[in-house]
Structures are given as C-alpha cells and as structure tokens.
Amino acid sequence: MDYQMLSKEISYILRHAPWEYELELDEEGWVDINQLLFSMHECKEWQKLSKWDLKLMIEKSDKQRHEILDGKIRALYGHSISQRIIKEPKIPPEILYHGTAKRFIQTIKKQGLLSQSRQYVHLSVHKDMAFRVGRRKDENPVVLLVKAKLAWKEGVSFYRGNDKVWLSDSIRVEYIKFQ
C-alpha cells in the first residue's frame, strides 16, 4: 500500500470534493469511516482498503493531515469546500510564521493575511516549515512573522490544525512583521 498516495487521495476527498464520493461531512468535517471505505472500494485501486490502512496512513504521515475518532475520519486543515468546517478556538503560541510568494507582499501589506480559496489562513509553528510552504509558489519565498499571542489577546481567533499548523480566519497587517 502506498500510504503517501492514500493520504493525498483522502485529503482530496475530505478537503476538496466529498461529493465526488457521495459523502457528506458534518459541521466539524467528520465522515463515517465505513461510508468512506464503501465509496473508495468502488475504485479498483482502493478495493482492498481497510480501516487498518487508514490508521497506518495517519501513523506513517509526518504531516498529520487527518485524524480518526469514534469510527469517523476528518482532514485537520486545508479545506476548500464551501461548507464551513467549525473549529474550536485555542490560545496560539507567541509567534507563528507564514510563507508566501514575493508577488503577494504588497497586497498583504494592504489587506493582511486572508484565507483566499481556503477556509482559514494557514500558519506554521516553525520558520523553516513556512519557508517550504512558501516555496510551492515562489522559489525564493518570503517568511512573515505573525504576532499570534498579541493578535489573540486583541480578539483574533486561532485554531489548532495540528502540532505544526495553526489556522486563523484572517490576520490584520498590524500583527505581521515583514522581514
């Protein structure tokens, strides 16, 4: 079993196109594992997929994209579906980082960080991770420092994606340090 390929497929289904597999996510993004397996078994490639494979996929992944609880599975972050996935606000670390392409800096300086096509702004706990994320759109990205704890104290909501990723609805420019 190629668990990296499986993780990408599950991410696509749960983040972007559950309807393609005739699945409906609940308000927190959960779907019944048996329903997911039933839908995926219709594809020849995934006919032997089991609950155990889903658990191994999560254990083997260094990105912590998914979680399983009480017979359900969900993507932890990265949703682009129109249905809003509800997250519980949490107190963020003092500082978070956001990697982006240089071409977006002037817009960010005017508007702050906005979720764009995703449901939330994605922030990294580590500067090097933010750099890697930014490299997806620019060979030499800019890493922005976000004063997360200060923003939280002043009313900005933050949500824990996993131990490396935090989410927010938006980040106003006064909480961003341009380096």
The CATH number of 96-177, from 1.20.1090.10, 3.30.1050.10, 1.10.3720.10, 3.20.170.30, is 3.20.170.30
Pinpoint the alpha helices (H) of the chain: 3-11, 33-40, 51-60, 105-111, 127-134, 148-153
**In this predicted model, what pLDDT tens digit does every residue of 44-95 receive, in sequence order?**
899 999 999 999 999 998 888 999 999 999 999 888 888 778 888 999 999 9
List where CATH 3.20.170.30 sits in the chain. 96-177
User: Which tops the pLDDT comparison, 161 or 53?
Assistant: 53
Residue with more model confidence, 67 or 135: 67
Task: Provide the whole-model pTM.
Answer: 0.69
Q: Identify the CATH class of 3-75.
A: mainly alpha
For CATH 1.10.10.970, the residue range(s) in the chain are 3-75
Q: Is the pLDDT of residue 146 over 90?
A: yes
